[in-house]
A and B are shown apart, each in its own frame.
Chain A
Amino acid sequence: MGDRDYEDYLKRWGLQADMWTSMELLAVATAREMAGSTFAFIGTGLPLLAASLAQRTVAPNLTVILESGIVGPEIRHLPISVADPRAAYRAATLSTMLDVFGMACRGFCTLGVLGAAECDRYGNLNSTALGGYWRNGENRHLRLAGSGGANSIASLADRIIVTMVHEKRRFPVRVQYLSSVAGRRGPGAEDRHHYGLFRGGTVTVVSDLGILRPDPETGVLVLDAYYPGVDPEFIRANTGWELAIDEATPMPPPTAEELKVLRLQVDPGRFYLGRRVKGRKEDGKK
């Protein structure tokens, strides 16, 4: 698309070439984390958007795999589920779920992108239940969706990116149910290797406020970067453990080129980009 088309686009949607919405910022931040990846297992929504952007920018050799059994789709219309027929459009192969997880087991999952209800200080995820797994009269037991493919991906990928809304209740010291293992710390500080998970070990959390990475010594997630306009103290206040913020640097903002690709090629209809980031106003504050 030429410059004239981009101008028309900006006018139509009330946007500017050098300014971004919070959803666009999230897509860019996540895409950047995919640099150098070759095989990514991703779900729909923001991860798919980010993967599409990454393929066109920092990860040109990225093969996208969906846990439903889809390998290498050339998606035209944004799907709402990994089994949406839109997600299968012009794929290389449509196979079984068993087959794609088998591929991951063999060694073709260098990256997984996951979401969760809770992410603890080691990056372990809970997408199964809050208030205890066993239902009892006292606790308010809240049932969530369950692991789905998340546990399998977290077990087999070289690296996972976790996308989270940054709220204190979502970042507890310890998850209430351990659905997907990241830096599993057992009672004696046992790591994932101790439990027989031999792949993986790199977790990056991309929240809607900033980026967390584990401290190499302790494995505890620390703030690595904060988004433009966000105060690191605000991030610390919204994290359930004492988040280390001293080494954090501001994330370089989305470039005009990244935004142009995202807008004109990845989601031109703004089907997903047009959504508000849940729970946040446009300025990034609650």
Chain B
Amino acid sequence: MQGPEILTLSEAVHKYIHPGTHILFGGFTLLRRPMALAREIVRQGIGELFVTMNGGTVVEEMLAGAGLIRWLESTYLGLEGGMPVAYGVRLAIESGEIELVEDYSNWSFALRTVAGRYGLPFMPCLGDLGSDLLEYDSFGRAGLREREKDGSWKHPGIPPLKYAVIDDPFSGWGLHPRQYRNGPDTCANRTNSYFQPACGRGPEDNRTWPTAYTGRPGVKVALVPPLLPEVSVIHAQRVALDGTVRLEGLPGPDIDQAVCARVLIVTCERICRPEELRRTPEQNQIAPHNVTAIVEQPFGAYPTAVPNYYDYDYAWFQNYTRQVQHRSMEAVRGFWRRHVAGTANEWAYLEQQVGRERLLSLIADADYHYRPDPERRDGGK
């Protein structure tokens, strides 16, 4: 059986990522972010990127700081270590260097990846309603949700609507407190403005049904379109030679968002023999047919954490804040130029910018899955 390609970082980036690529970066905040691959993008200077991610922001901060992002689909732009909002990303958005930002919430974004993963036309969402997420459509305003004259979509990754809202054709049957023969519902929630907690009363007995969005009385359901990036990159602990992927610790949004793309690149701490992972298949999350390319890159998520391997480097985040906060975009560019672009490759980066001692100080403890060292964490003050 033909497995995925096994490439170096430089080969994988050169082959699959080009100016303007619609690319999703996996992980979540400071967990398993594919930093090594993103650093290679910075080294190769590939710009105009259409970046999408659920819960940033260090990868996006680096790419924006290096001036490589043109469009951004985002749910969260906070950066740990002292930045409630990632600084370089913020500057790039406010200056217009990042031309468009499209906001979703964690949940609606995750639902989009499920629609993408399973080939569904949309997924239903009971959040985002009533908020400005539905009112502000950045891609729509820029005319990117239309068709060209020949009928093709302006961009293969931009759907015709940001959201749609329908009236539930089942009239909210699934939302009323469940009543079973042997007793009432066991869920914890107590509020429900469509149906009173006491069951048996139909919707006609209750308050006026909402008419927002559709203009008709009904149970409102937001629909979100599939997320269809060209490339997804995630960082895993292990990938087998045949492409079987095993994530350890919290998967976060990674399983769905990895397989909704056309191309999946998995960077990992260690490529292993298939037997090692197939012995306990219930612990594997992504089957080989989804994986396009594998790259073995130890410390490939540095400075973010990889459970069971190494902790995040809090000192890196604090230092970054100190270096760039309140400074000019030129200063931010300069930081990333010196810190990343000037290094020849990942090993040079780890040696020159991080150092063996620092890396070893992050190695995870077997019981905790992180490094429980109170002295090192004291930098929180």
Contacts and interface: CB of A to CB of B under 8 A. Distances in A.
Interface string A67-85: 1111000001100111111
Given A82-B29, A145-B76, A271-B380, A97 B132 contact: no
B231 interface: no
B189 A84 contact: no
A186 B212 CA distance: 10
A9 interface: no
A105 interface: yes
A173 interface: no
Interface string B125-140: 0111111110110000
A251 B96 CA distance: 47
B188 A39 contact: yes
Contacts of A135: 93-94, 96
Contact of B249 (A81, A94, A147): A94
A158 B372 contact: no
Nearest to B30: A81
B192 interface: yes
B251 A149 contact: no
Contacts of B302: none
Interface string B93-107: 110100001011111
Contact of A88 (B74, B222, B250): B250
Interface string A143-156: 11111111110011
B189 A199 contact: yes
Contacts, number: 255
Contacts of A145: 76-78, 84-85
A83 B28 contact: yes
Interface in B19-70: 27-31, 54-55
A88 B369 contact: yes
A51 interface: no
State the main secondary structure of chain A at its contact with B. loop
Interface stretch (A20-28, A187-195, A204-212, A218-226): A187-195
Interface stretch (B7-15, B306-314, B343-351): B306-314
B187 interface: yes
Interface stretch (A107-115, A227-235, A239-247, A254-262): A107-115
A55 interface: no
B327 interface: no
Contact of B220 (A81, A144, A195, A200): A195
Contacts of B256: 96, 98
A95 interface: yes
Interface residues of B, number: 87
A82 B27 CA distance: 12
A38 to B, nearest CB: 5
A86 interface: yes
A201 interface: yes
A153 B214 CA distance: 24
B210 interface: yes
A180 B307 CA distance: 32
Contacts of A179: 131-133
Given A95-B251, A133-B132, A144 B212 contact: no
A171 interface: no
Contacts of B377: 77, 271
B130 A148 contact: no
A269 interface: yes
Nearest to A155: B127
A109 B187 CA distance: 9
A198 B85 contact: no
B108 A94 contact: no
Contacts of B154: none
Nearest to B194: A198
Nearest to B190: A158
A162 to B, nearest CB: 15
Most buried by B among A155, A177, A196, A200: A196
Most buried by B among A76, A144, A152: A152
Given A86-B370, A135-B93, A135-B96, A150 B212 contact: no
Contacts of B312: 84
B106 to A, nearest CB: 4
A134 B130 CA distance: 19
Interface string A134-172: 110000011111111111100110100000000000000
Nearest to B314: A80
Nearest to A101: B107
A121 B88 CA distance: 32
Contacts of A158: 189-191
A16 B188 CA distance: 39
Contacts of A195: 129-130, 210, 212-213, 220
B241 to A, nearest CB: 26
A106 interface: yes
A138 to B, nearest CB: 13
B108 A68 contact: no
Nearest to A195: B130
A144 B189 CA distance: 31
Q: List the 10 closest pairs (A to B, CB-CB), nearest first.
A: A196-B220, A195-B130, A107-B187, A107-B189, A152-B107, A148-B76, A155-B127, A85-B370, A83-B31, A101-B107
16 contacts: A83-B27, A83-B29, A83-B252, A85-B305, A96-B110, A97-B28, A97-B55, A128-B103, A145-B76, A151-B127, A152-B105, A179-B131, A196-B126, A197-B126, A198-B172, A198-B194
Given A107-B185, A147-B105, 14 more contacts: A68-B250, A82-B28, A82-B29, A98-B110, A98-B111, A106-B187, A145-B76, A149-B76, A150-B105, A151-B105, A156-B127, A181-B131, A193-B207, A196-B126
